[in-house]
A = this chain, B = another copy of it.
Amino acid sequence: MSPKANWIAVDWGTSSLRAWAMDAEGQDLATASSDQGMGQLTPRDFEATLCALVEPWLSAGQTNVIACGMVGARQGWIEAAYDVAPCKPQLGLTKAPTNDPRLNVQIIAGVSQAKPADVMRGEETQIAGFQKLNPNWDGVIFLPGTHTKWVQMSAGEIVSFQTFMTGEMFDLLSTASVLRHSVATNGWDQAAFDRAVDEAMSQPAAIAARLFGLRAESLLNDLPPATAKSRLSGLLIGAELAAARPYWLGQSLAMIGQKSMGVGYAAAFAAQHVPVIQTDATQMTLAGLKAAYASWKETL
């Protein structure tokens, strides 16, 4: 039999949805997930989608739900206003409209930055989770993903941040461009990756000239597809590291990310002799949702 939840924690991104049934002591009793991310839903789909996933955990009375991520975007359930950096993460909550009386859904504010213009949704919760587990830590938090974030933290505040589209560029170039004929989906060539990172970091301007070379090398010299993939990844990550240098050079660095997304960066940092604290993304998300719930409870 499914446990009844004291409250429910929800991480709702563009491509996936995950929920945890929580007890009164902040322990997770059960978890459920689906691929019904914000990207495929219209605003009126959200309530039914959530209900279908968490129904077994609901009691007769009202259950509080704390959610983070793209569920609060303009195309999400309801637009949750941004907190404006510099700021502590998770200052604001927006109540989502619901018909089912058993649900009280609160969406955590994203963070925006005026200059240079930038936005995050969901990462602020992972950051809050990291803060909870590492109190008084100052430095740079690095969150690899489709859109990688570099976040300068000081005295508990997000001081500034910067987003890179490196993950999305890699996906597009390796699956939708002419390079798809030359780039493998599997396999890895660490030496080729390392060389490409070096090349791109020392000559970031030249990367635009190197991409088509992967196709030409494959046509003329049978470049192995796994090598082409590793080289493409290295060129893009190297270009990002060159542009993000102020964020990591001489800074305390912590990485919050799924292993698959972070493995290239971790290798690149190792090659640059930059020490990085590695943390688990899911654990940080859940800790952040718990922190948001605890803060909200205090205000009730």
Chain A residues engaging chain B, CB cutoff 8 angstroms:
74, 82, 112-114, 116-119, 147, 162-166, 168-169, 172-173, 176-179, 204-213, 215-217, 219-221, 236, 239-240, 242-244
Give the CA-CA distance A199 to B108 in the complex, in Å: 35
Least Cβ distance of A219 to chain B in Å?
6
Residues of B within 8 A of A205 (CB): 204-205, 239, 242-243
Are A117 and B221 in touch, CB under 8 angstroms?
Answer: yes
Are B164 and A212 in touch, CB under 8 angstroms?
Answer: yes
* Copy total for this chain: 2
Can you give 6 contacting A-B residue pairs, CB < 8 Å? A118-B212, A119-B220, A147-B178, A172-B173, A176-B176, A204-B208
Residues of B within 8 A of A242 (CB): 205, 208
Which are the 6 A-B pairs with shortest beta-carbon distances?
A: A204-B205, A117-B216, A163-B212, A209-B243, A117-B217, A172-B172
Are B166 and A208 in touch, CB under 8 angstroms?
Answer: yes
**Other A-B pairs, 18, CB within 8 Å; known A112-B219, A165-B178:** A74-B219, A112-B216, A116-B210, A116-B213, A116-B216, A117-B221, A118-B212, A118-B213, A147-B178, A163-B213, A164-B209, A166-B208, A169-B173, A172-B177, A208-B239, A208-B240, A208-B243, A209-B240
Please, which residue of chain B has its CB at the minimum distance from the CB of A74? B219
Are A165 and B119 in touch, CB under 8 angstroms?
Answer: no
Residues of B within 8 A of A215 (CB): 119
Residues of B within 8 A of A118 (CB): 212-213, 216
Are B177 and A168 in touch, CB under 8 angstroms?
Answer: yes
Residues of B within 8 A of A165 (CB): 177-179, 208, 211-212
Residues of B within 8 A of A210 (CB): 116
Residues of B within 8 A of A164 (CB): 208-209, 211-212
Least Cβ distance of A273 to chain B in Å?
21
Please, which residue of chain B has its CB at the minimum distance from the CB of A236? B208
Are A162 and B119 in touch, CB under 8 angstroms?
Answer: no
Q: Which of B74, B166, B206 contacts A243 (CB 8 A)?
A: B206
Are A209 and B162 in touch, CB under 8 angstroms?
Answer: yes
Give the CA-CA distance A216 to B179 in the complex, in Å: 28
Residues of B within 8 A of A208 (CB): 164-166, 204, 236, 239-240, 242-243
Least Cβ distance of A181 to chain B in Å?
8
Residues of B within 8 A of A147 (CB): 178, 212
Are A176 and B172 in touch, CB under 8 angstroms?
Answer: yes
Least Cβ distance of A87 to chain B in Å?
15
Are A220 and B178 in touch, CB under 8 angstroms?
Answer: no
Least Cβ distance of A240 to chain B in Å?
5
Residues of B within 8 A of A112 (CB): 216, 219-220
Least Cβ distance of A60 to chain B in Å?
40
Residues of B within 8 A of A219 (CB): 74, 112, 117, 119
